[in-house]
Structure 1
């Protein structure tokens, strides 16, 4: 992204895995690794055709999508929810997998990609809070 000059229309999507600490603490890091791998596959399977996906922390992921405002992101997010539900029904992971997500779109006024990522994080944390309440 540092080589790009014009980010208008780009979308940054951030993801955070719920219950990973619980999985590691109760079932060990091998189970936690399986959790991360399976969640990463869901993220990648749904977003790699639109942009680049990255693991940016232990249980945090990010996707950068050029021209992202031109596709139906809510449809892709819904598909992630469906894929998580399917994975949880398979009982591969000993705790329920949860992927919280949020996104932000670059506007003509945005000059700092980090500020846009922060907005995506704020959206993701709203989603994470809503997931814990349901």
Structure 2
């Protein structure tokens, strides 16, 4: 899967923010197993785009990246210092608009009816 930790969750449950790591950090399975919470509740992960194997992929672009740009307001005024930008599909498809919203996106999206929760949900064809 080529997952990479590129941020740590901070902020509150209502207003999560990602603190971006400035250097590569390896978080081994032993550290993950020792955490008192699910690692996706603490770290922001990225992974290689799986294109047609991903329910978010619409055949041409990442539907999640598009919905984040369309459905979430920017939370920063400048592009965050990001290690994955050169390989980020959201950036490639949405440029800086995705980056300005990215700090509020968490790996483990709550199912609480929040704006982020609604944006992250995949819409069935009958929902559109």
TM class by shorter chain equals: under 0.3
TM-score (norm 2): 0.27
Greater relative CO, 1 or 2 (CA 8 Å, sep 6+): 1
Structure with a larger share of its residues in helix = 1
TM-score in terms of structure 1 length: 0.26
Between Structure 1 and Structure 2, the one with more strand by share is 1
